[in-house]
Amino acid sequence: MEIKEYEELIIAQLNKVVEQIIDKGPNLTIAVKKGERVGDGISKYLENKFVEFTKKHEYFTDSIASPEGKTKNPFDVQTFFEINNHRELLWVDFKAINVDNDDTNPDSGTPDKVLTLMNSGYFYLVYILVYYKGNETGLDFVQNNEIFVKSYFLKDVSSTMRITPANQMQVNGFEEPM
């Protein structure tokens, strides 16, 4: 299999898992007041669900969520993508975007962890973006450009990516990957 197909398969499978999570539970009871940001709670929800939904999966194995209380953990989910005796480690970073706000440029991880990951022989850091809106009692996952979930690899991030003084990669939440 070509590398390109292989990578596309990973992305497609990740999208599918998270789409299923959203499909089974399209709203959460996490309250969102206007202008409030609840990324932390949404991420924890998706992390746990991801692990649950990949307990038995055609491609993903050994998924773990970011450990409780580890507020500086380098991944939200770690999982392995397995195909034809090849086993690829993935670090997933969820981004939860409130589409009622004007714009967003989330911190996207320290660049240092890219090195950590590569030194351990792996490569793939993946962002998974989800979109939401507050309602009276909590929040709904919603579509952006007709999709609920957008996954892409750090290696494909837009060239407008930059490093902030806090040593975080940063890229606009609506910027297309390459």
Regarding 98 and contact with DNA (CB under 7 A), the answer is yes
The DSSP bridge partners found for residue 77 are 65, 92
* Inter-residue contact 170 to 107 (CB < 8 Å): yes
Q: Which is nearer to DNA, 5 or 69 (CB)?
A: 69
Residue 63 binds: one of Mg ion, DNA, a second copy, none (C-beta under 5 to 8 A by kind): none
Regarding 120 and contact with a second copy (CB under 8 A), the answer is yes
Instruction: Give the integer Cα–Cα distance in Å for 122 and 53.
Output: 24
How is residue 14 annotated by DSSP? H
Q: Which is nearer to DNA, 58 or 176 (CB)?
A: 176
C-alpha distances out from residue 156 to 34, 36, 52, 63, 133, Å: 32, 30, 28, 23, 27
Composition of the chain by helix, strand, coil, percent to 5 = 25, 30, 40
Residue 57 binds: one of DNA, a second copy, Mg ion, none (C-beta under 5 to 8 A by kind): none
How many residues sit close enough to DNA to count as binding (CB under 7 A)?
46
The CB density around residue 18, as the number of other CB atoms within 10 Å, is 24
Residue 104 binds: one of Mg ion, DNA, a second copy, none (C-beta under 5 to 8 A by kind): DNA
Instruction: Give the integer Cα–Cα distance in Å for 136 and 131.
Output: 17
Residues 2-31 that bind a second copy (CB under 8 A): 29-31
Cβ neighbours for 54, distance < 8 A, ≥ 6 positions apart: 17, 60, 61, 63, 79
Residues 65-94 that bind a second copy (CB under 8 A): 67-72, 74-75, 78, 89, 91
Give min distance, CB of 169 to a second copy, in A.
Answer: 10
Binding mask 154-173 vs DNA (x if CB under 7 A, - otherwise)?
------x-x-xxxxx-x-xx
In the complex, the residues that contact DNA under the rule CB under 7 A are 34-37, 39-40, 42-43, 68-74, 76, 93-98, 101-110, 112-113, 116, 160, 162, 164-168, 170, 172-173, 175
